[in-house]
Chain A
Amino acid sequence: MNTNPAAEVARDDSEGMDYLVSLPRRMVTVYLPILCFLIVLLFPFYWMGLTSIKPNDELIDRSLNPWWVVDPTIAHYYHLIVNTDYPVWMWNTMLVAVTATLLSIAASVMAAYAIVRIRYAGSRWVGGMIFLAYLVPPSILFIPLALVVFQYGLFDSPMALILTYPTILIPFSTWLLMGYFKSIPYELEECALIDGASRWQILTRIVLPLSVPGIISAGIFAFTLCWNEFIYALVFISSSENKTVPVAVLSELVEGDIYHWGPLMAGALLGSVPVCIVYSFFVEHYVSSMTGAVKE
């Protein structure tokens, strides 16, 4: 093998058997395909961003190059924030997402602890049922749930969403936290029991502080799921001031057959910002919860 040792030292990010593959070969077989993937995956975002800052006359002018903007404007964002209920929709989505996430995490922590550590009769069976509940999709539940929501008198209120979203979140986060709690040593709990701690004290004083990363992972994932949820919000909410962002952008910003693409794209982009911010701070947690849910 006639590799140049100096070149090896310079490429310090190479590891393992990488020296067997030359740099030009890596360019073609690794970097180029990744670049293509990134371009395709990011293009819709570029297009959303570009459209949202294009003035209306540029949007419909076919003589200009649509890939660029000549005279950027923030008029669409201004219109969205001042002339529509957009801030209210944002607030609704935030309220529902945060409350539903907190409720679900609290319920899941207790359930997961009971299944993994209290090990009551039938706990394994319950664990299996929770995994099955994870696989029940909202699109076969929304019709009967609409009736239930109506019977409980929750129709068209944020409570309808706050109480129904946990059915999507609890199975997933319980499953995730069960895996996490299993990794905490028994011995710590034994010590606490000998010292006379109750189960509740063990959970809040010993298990919870040790599983903060797991809880954050589950919380982040739950938050993004809430933000993404659509069908329940579409069916259970009817008045504009109670709608969440995904539903409102689609139903309130589209007027008849005239599509106001500028405000629509601005709305879609702004609606993605909160999840992207949360995601960017906790990428590792997010990835670990996503893969953990599959691997456990």
Chain B
Amino acid sequence: MATDAERVRAQETAAPIDLWTRLKYDRNWLGLWFMLPAAAFLLLFLTYPLGLGIWLSVTDTRIGRDGVFIGLENFEWLNQDPVFWLSVFNTFLYTIVASILKFALGLYLAVLLNNHMPWKAIIRAIVLLPFIVPTVLSAIAFWWIYDTQFSIISWTLTELGLISENINFLGEPNNARASVIAANIWRGIPFVAITLLAGLQTIPQSLYEAATIDGASRWQMFRHVTYPMLTPIIAVVMTFSVLFTFTDFQLIYAMTRGGPANATHLMATLSYQRAIMGGNLGEGAAISTAMIPFLLAAILFSWFGLQRRKWQQGESDD
């Protein structure tokens, strides 16, 4: 071990180890020096604000005025607020529907891309494009695609004779929900597909050969070889996907700003509206804090997914 060599040398040199030597060679001190820049960033701009956010949620702070401790009043207030509960409902609807579809379509695309085909690398690069392009910029494109008057979808469907008048994509509550979910799925599929593809490529070919000899159909091979081998990575990928869908802000803000009639307000956009636009930092922070339990649940799920993966690969827990 490298550290042993270090210790031996430290003992052999000067008999009394002065402070400077200890600061330079002691493993824990060295670790501290190396961690310092990262720790400074994370403590100042992540841990401290996280704590501050929870504190703000129990105060009545407004922009430009320090608040005082008011206990759980913000949460009681939110509990009686139908808009808050609507945003909770929307967040869950958005997360559940988008995640299920992203998973199903992403897995399908991953399995398709796992076939040998010409220009495989180029196709894979193209598939990732929606994920690379800044979300807001593609959301603006969707905004224009969903335009009430000049929507290309409405125009095409009218020409095909399927509808007689334009679809009001973002003006009617349920249409708006479906539209933003569709845009979110469009952006999320590449991430799910490419990460699952990486998982698929680690499955040994011999398993499929064995299954073929046993006379398994393609579906049976998928169900009994691919899927079980892929479960741990699916758990992790979907946790990330759920987490980022649950806390989504950009897409909604760019396309609807929570409208029409709060039908697409997610918890994140509502907290922005209350805290930054309305100036009620305390109330906005309370909405953010209300998201934490759900995030913790997702993180625990991911953690067990990782543990199971290690166990499956026979990796010791070091």
Residue positions of A touching B, CB distance < 8 A: 13-18, 20, 26, 30-31, 33-34, 37-38, 40-42, 44-45, 47-48, 51, 59-60, 62, 66-67, 103-104, 106-108, 110-111, 113-115, 117-121, 123, 126, 130, 132-133, 135-148, 163-164, 166-167, 170-171, 174, 186, 189-190, 193-194, 198-199, 224, 227-228, 230-231, 234-235, 245-247, 249-250, 259, 261, 264-265, 267-269, 271-272, 275-276, 279-280, 283, 286-287, 290-291, 294-295
Contact = CB atoms under 8 A, between A and B. Distances in A.
B137 A249 contact: yes
B112 A132 contact: no
Interface of B: 1-3, 5-6, 24, 27-28, 30-32, 34-39, 41-42, 44-46, 48-50, 52-53, 56, 61, 108-109, 112-113, 115-118, 121, 123-130, 132-138, 140-142, 144-145, 147, 150, 152, 155-156, 186, 189-191, 194-195, 198-199, 205, 208-209, 212, 233, 236-237, 240, 243-244, 247-250, 253-254, 268, 271-272, 275-276, 281, 284-285, 288-289, 291-292, 295, 298-299, 302
Given A34-B113, A120-B31, A276 B191 contact: no
Given A41-B126, A113-B34, A135-B295, A166 B2 contact: no
Given A13-B118, A47-B144, A280 B138 contact: no
Given A33-B108, A163-B41, A167-B42, A286 B128 contact: yes
In this complex, which of B1, B31, B247 has the most chain A Cβ atoms within 10 angstroms of its Cβ?
B31
Given A148-B49, A231-B249, A111 B35 contact: yes
A166 to B, nearest CB: 5
Given A51-B144, A171-B42, A265-B141, 9 more contacts: A34-B113, A38-B126, A41-B186, A145-B45, A147-B52, A147-B281, A166-B45, A227-B134, A272-B133
A193 B25 CA distance: 12
Contacts of A133: 42, 46
* 9 A-B pairs closest in CB distance: A120-B31, A114-B34, A291-B198, A111-B38, A137-B247, A107-B37, A139-B268, A144-B53, A268-B137
Interface SS majority for chain A: helix
A13 B117 contact: yes
24 contacts: A13-B117, A14-B116, A34-B109, A34-B117, A44-B142, A48-B141, A60-B150, A62-B150, A110-B34, A113-B34, A118-B27, A119-B31, A123-B31, A132-B299, A136-B46, A136-B295, A143-B285, A144-B49, A199-B34, A230-B135, A230-B136, A249-B140, A272-B134, A276-B129
Nearest to B276: A235
A103 to B, nearest CB: 8
A143 B244 contact: no
A285 to B, nearest CB: 12
Contact of B141 (A117, A259, A268, A294): A268
A283 to B, nearest CB: 5
